């Protein structure tokens, strides 16, 4: 009873672990397809060849990741451990749809890059050229699929080897994966040689089509339990003869080196073109910068000149204002002096009016008594003096003092004359 419960617990744990792995893979598929779609848009929105090739490289990397996930999904679909296989089947279909889209994109690029003559011939509806290009696309697609399966196998091998102890030998599954990798590598070498021979017209597209069914069966079924590999697929093409006669894979490797050299030369040329474009852009920017600086300096100079003119105009305005104020001040002084002169003339004219004693400057003194009469009368009362002051009026204190002194002098003279009269009379 305890053993049965332990088995059930182990089974539940394994099922839970498997479901967790399936969820992880399906999530990876969803994220990978979203990234694939983003890169796909960038490929078709690229404005330059260099950008398009860059994004196509990223697209190829992403589709290979999806293909590895697809191989895992196919394994689960083929097994009996998963009950609900519909999500796995849907994910597989979506990946295969993206694979077809990538093949179309890659075919367009390779058609443009590989042969301008082929494009021209296709445009002229040349069936021979189209058939040859289709055969070439088939071989390249098979090579990509084999390499993708190899990547999946290598990933599974790494996981299996990381889980076991170092002293343990390879498991049956590990030996199967190693063998399958070796066979895949061999098929890749055959097909790469066929590509070279097809390009050189040593074999025809009919030769490629003659092995098409067998190669497709190998690609689709090599992981099945009852799969039996046909190792005579390429015998009728006599590839070994070409390999021994022309160096075969060595020629292919040399061709790869040549292509790599061409690619490196193209990259170097693109790099130089890019650097030259950058230098040209920098020169243009420098010219624009200098023009802007010249314009700025010119504006600053104009501003400085305007400021200088404004300052000069302000100085002239201030000078004119100062001169105007001085003129006003001088005019005010002249007017004051003129007013003072007129007042003095008016005062002098008033002093010369009739009825005024020119010596005494007092009015009403013509009928004044003589000195003898005054002496006979005796001293004059004080009232007349006050009357004299009152008679002065608006002449001012200085005029009063002068009139008073003058009167005293006159009275003194009159007194002397009276004395003499008195003396003469005696």
pLDDT digits (tens, 9 = 90+) for 71-89: 888 888 877 788 888 999 8
368 near 411, Cβ under 8 Å? no
Residues 6+ apart with CB under 8 A from 164: 171
pLDDT of residue 426: 39
Structure tokens given for 357? 């004693």
pLDDT of residue 336: 95
pLDDT of residue 235: 87
Taking the whole predicted model, whether its pTM rises above 0.95 is answered as no
pLDDT at 204 over 70: yes
Give the Cα separation of 51 and 45 in Å (integer). 9
Of 238, 62, 264, 67, whose CA–CA distance to 152 is shortest? 67
Give the Cα separation of 85 and 77 in Å (integer). 6
How big is the CA angle at 186 (ends 183 and 190), to the nearest 5 degrees? 140
Give the pLDDT confidence of 275-287 residue by residue, as tens digits.
888 898 898 899 9
Distance in Å from the first CA to the final CA of the chain:
196
pLDDT at 254 over 50: yes
48-57, 132-141, 263-272: range with highest mean pLDDT: 132-141
pLDDT of residue 306: 94
Band (pLDDT 50/70/90 cuts) for residue 377 is low
Mean pLDDT for all residues in the chain: 77
3-class secondary structure, 363 = strand
Give the pLDDT confidence of 303-356 residue by residue, as tens digits.
999 999 999 999 999 999 999 999 999 999 999 999 999 999 999 999 987 655
Give the Cα separation of 293 and 313 in Å (integer). 30
């Amino acid at each position: 009873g305890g053993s049965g419960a332990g088995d059930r617990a182990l089974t539940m744990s394994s099922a839970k672990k498997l479901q967790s792995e399936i969820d992880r893979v399906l999530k990876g598929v969803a994220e990978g397809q979203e990234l694939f779609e983003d890169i796909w848009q960038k490929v078709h929105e690229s404005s330059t060849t260099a950008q398009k090739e860059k994004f196509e490289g990223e697209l190829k990397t992403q589709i290979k990741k999806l293909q590895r996930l697809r191989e895992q999904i196919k394994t689960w679909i083929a097994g009996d451990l998963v009950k609900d296989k519909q999500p796995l089947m849907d994910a597989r279909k979506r990946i295969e749809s993206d694979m077809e889209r990538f093949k179309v994109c890659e075919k367009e690029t390779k058609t443009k890059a590989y042969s301008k003559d082929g494009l021209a011939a296709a445009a002229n509806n040349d069936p021979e050229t189209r058939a040859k290009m289709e055969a070439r696309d088939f071989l390249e697609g098979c090579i990509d699929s084999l390499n993708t399966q190899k990547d999946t196998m290598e990933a599974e091998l790494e996981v299996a080897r990381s889980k076991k102890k170092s002293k343990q030998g390879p498991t049956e599954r590990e030996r199967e994966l190693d063998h399958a990798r070796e066979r895949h590598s061999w098929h890749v070498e055959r097909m790469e040689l066929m590509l070279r021979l097809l390009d050189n017209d040593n074999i025809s597209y009919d030769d490629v089509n003659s092995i098409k069914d067998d190669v497709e069966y190998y690609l689709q079924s090599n992981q099945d339990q009852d799969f039996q590999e046909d190792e005579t697929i390429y015998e009728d093409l006599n590839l070994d003869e070409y390999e021994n006669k022309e160096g075969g894979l060595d020629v292919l490797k040399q061709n790869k080196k040549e292509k790599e050299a061409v690619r490196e030369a193209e990259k170097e040329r693109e790099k130089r073109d890019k650097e030259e474009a950058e230098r040209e852009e920098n020169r243009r920017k420098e010219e624009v910068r200098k023009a802007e600086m010249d314009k700025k300096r010119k504006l600053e100079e104009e501003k400085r000149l305007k400021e200088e003119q404004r300052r000069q105009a302000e100085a002239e305005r201030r000078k004119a204002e100062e001169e105007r104020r001085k003129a006003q001040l001088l005019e005010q002084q002249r007017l004051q002096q003129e007013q003072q002169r007129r007042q003095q003339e008016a005062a002098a004219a008033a002093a010369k009016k009739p009825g005024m004693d020119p010596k005494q400057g007092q009015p009403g003194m013509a009928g004044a008594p003589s000195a003898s009469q005054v002496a006979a009368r005796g001293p004059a009362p004080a009232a007349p003096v006050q009357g004299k002051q009152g008679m002065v009026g608006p002449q001012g204190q200085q005029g009063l003092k002068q009139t008073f002194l003058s009167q005293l002098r006159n009275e003194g003279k009159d007194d002397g004359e009276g004395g003499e009269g008195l003396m003469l009379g005696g």
